[in-house]
Structure formats: C-alpha cells, structure tokens
Structure 1
C-alpha cells in the first residue's frame, strides 16, 4: 500500500505543527509532493497573501491535487469571559482560513480534474465536553461541516471531492497546554472515549491519506469521525 499518493501535488496548511505536521510527514512517505504552508510562510487570513501563495504554487506545479486545510486558531473561554475580539478571531481562525485557502486554490484544484479537499471539523461540532470552555471553537467547527457539504456540491462538476475529518482529542503542542492547565481534562476526555487513550496526529493523518487517494474516488461531502468512539454515544 506504499506510494498511495504517488504523483499527487498536496498543499497542507498548518504544516509546522500538530495534525498538519503529521499529515505532511505521512503524505510525503506515501509519495506525494508536499507543499507545506504555515504562518512563517504566509498569513492565510490575509486575502492578498493567500491568493499570491496559491498562485505561486499553481504556477510552479500546474495544478493542486490535494488541499489539506489543517491550519486553525481558537480562543477558549467561558461565555461570560469570552471577549467579542476573541470570538471573532476564533471564527476567522476556524472558518475564514478555510474559505480563503479553498478559494485561492480552487482554479488549481479544477486543473487537477481529480482533486481532494480535506477539512477538519471536530468532535466538538457534535457534542459539548464537560469542563471545556469551547463555545467559539464549537461554533467554528460546526461551520466547517456546513462549508464542506456546500463545497462538495460546488466542486463535483469539476472533479473536486470535499470531505471533513472530525478528530477527537489529539495530543499536540496546543492540547498539551490545555492538559497542563487543567489536570482533570484528560480524565474527562477518556471517560467519553470508547478507546481509553489519546490520539496522535498520525492517527488523523492516515485518514487524510485515504481521502486524498484514489481509493476514496467515490467519497465526497462526507464527515469521518476519528475520535476513539467519543461521538458514538
């Protein structure tokens, strides 16, 4: 099953950390030409920068076969403590960042003819996690699911498949900070999980490999939970 992505040009946002970094490593191991984008390379919330970045990639490679929208930002606070500034920053960091990247990549995805866009929602789009002040994050990731369905419809005539993965609690630099700040959080997460351990970025990346590959050629507008069973009950 090696080289499942051989010959594919894959752009991965948020590639320097967490799930994006895990996707970049495994996509490369499966034969993809990986172009990683992170904040040091391009501010994906700057419309002009995003457009210019994807134009360069498209001109260099002639097409984009896979877009993995892993870049995201969220502020966590209880409703009464959440500033409007942080609310808006989270919605930008969860929704605008997907919109701007997808729009900038769209002509090059159309040029592929068999392209795959992979968005990341969250288990938090479906349920609240007791003890987690994730109001803005839940709203943003719920929006990602709606965007995914709409983009799948818009992309289908051009051979562009659009799907979402909804990860459960994954160990990353960001989530480690939450675990350190709240020692009870890991137990709350594991109580909800059917599988009693926390996931790693690679657990998500393998699901993304399948969605990016020709094995998933009949799959679009789907949401795939990779969450240790947390949203199944």
Structure 2
C-alpha cells in the first residue's frame, strides 16, 4: 500500500510538532507533496489566527499548485485550568486556538479544495469532546474540541456537492512534547489516563497519523461527517 497519496497536494497545519508532524511525515512517505505550516520550524511560517496572513498563505499555495487535495488542521492552542481559576482571557484564547484556527484555515483553503474535485479535510476533535478525564483541568479544551466535532459535520454537508469530504479524529492521550511536560509535572496523571484505556499504553503521534492517512486516501472515499475515536478504547466504556 505504499504511495497511497501519490501526486496529492497536502497542507498540514501544526506540522512542526506532535500529531501534525507525524501526519506530515507519513503523508510525505506515502507520496504526497506536503506543505507544512506552523509558527516556525515548518515549510511555511504563519500565525493561523491572523486572518489576513492565513488568507495570503493559502492564496500563495493555491497559485503554486492550482488546488489543495488534503487539509489537515492539526494546529491548536489551549489553556488548561480549573473553572475557578480560568481567566476569561484564557477561555477566549483557547476557543480561538481550538476553533478559529480551524475555521480560518479551512475558509482560506476552500476554493482550492473545491478545485481538487476530490478533497479531504481532516480536523481533530478529542476524547475530551466525549468524556471528562479525572485530574485534567480541560474545561475550555473540552468546549473547543466539541465545537470542532460539530463544525466538521457541517463542513461535510457544505463540501459534499464539491467533492470535499470532512472528517474528524478524536485522539485519546497522545505523547507529545507538551503532554510529556504534563506527565513530568504530575506523574500520577499517567495512571489516571491508563485507567480509562482498554489498551494499556499511551498513544504516539503515528497512531493518529495512520488514521489520518486513511481518511486522506481514496480508501475512505465513502466516509464523510465522521468522528473517529483513536483512544485505546477510552471512550468505548
């Protein structure tokens, strides 16, 4: 099944770290022409919460390639805090970093996704959109990822007449530089995560990238509006 994305143009946001980097690497290995986007450390540096800069970025990509076949919205930002300590500014920043960042990139890419005729948009919800995790002060994150899940269903409906599929992946706890820092600060949190998991290990970015690869490929041509949990079974019981 090598080169499952041969000749496809893929834009991956949040490509410098974590899940975004895992997706970008796997897509490139499978033959896609990948344009990685992040604040720094990627092919294109962009503040994806800057409307004008995001629009200009996607116009450049569209002008260079004529179309975008795959959009992976992996870039995200969240503040984790309990409700009594959550500042309104941090709440708003998290909703922008979870929702606005997906909206702005997808809206900017939309004309070029339409030009593909068979495009795939892949967003990231979360297990936190389905359940609460003891010990995790994820109030704003839960709200933002629940919004991504709902937004994706609407994008699937709007995109269907244009050959655009839109799906979300709902990861469980995935080891990244950010989550490793959280585990180091609270070693007991690992046990709380594993207590939820049927599969007794923590996830890695490639566990998510495999699902994203399938959704990006023609193998998933009949799949749209779905939210796929990749969470070691944490939300299945």
Quickly name the TM-score band, shorter chain normalised: over 0.9
Give the equivalent residue in structure 2 for 1:93: 97
Q: CA deviation at 1:74?
A: 0.3
Q: 5 Å matches for 1:169-188?
A: 169-188=173-192
The match for 2:2 is: 2
CA distance in 2, matches of 1:25, 1:191: 31
Indicate which of 110, 115, 118 corresponds to 2:114.
110
Query: Which residue, out of 198, 201, 213, partners 1:197?
Result: 201
Distance in 1 separating the partners of 2:12 and 2:154: 21
Deviation at 1:183, TM superposition (A): 1.0
Once the two structures are superposed, the pairs formed by residues 146-225 of structure 1 within 5 Å of their partners are 146-225=150-229
Q: TM-score, normalised by structure 1?
A: 1.00
Using structure 2 for the length normalisation, give the TM-score: 0.98
Aligned residue in 2 for 1:23: 23
1: CA distance between counterparts of 2:62 and 2:184?
Answer: 41
CA distance in 2, matches of 1:78, 1:180: 19
* Unaligned 5+ runs, structure 2: none
Once residues 186 and 81 of structure 2 are traced to their aligned partners in structure 1, the CA distance between those partners, rounded to angstroms, is: 13
Counterpart for residue 143 of structure 1: 147
SS at match of 1:77: coil
Cα deviation, residue 86, structure 1: 0.4
In structure 1, stretches of 5+ residues that fail to align are: none
The CA distance in 1 between the partners of 2:230 and 2:136, in whole Å, is 19
Structure 2 Cα separation of the partners of residues 205 and 33 of structure 1 = 16
SS in 1 for 2:84: helix
One of 35, 46, 51 as aligned partner of 1:47? 51
Deviation at 1:181, TM superposition (A): 1.3
Tell me the number of residue pairs that the alignment of Structure 1 and Structure 2 aligns.
233
Deviation of residue 95 (structure 1)? 0.1
Give the SS at the match of 1:127. Answer: coil
Task: Identify the residue that residue 36 of structure 1 maps to in structure 2.
Answer: 36
Say which SS state the counterpart of residue 162 (structure 1) adopts: strand
SS at structure 1 position matched to 2:67: coil
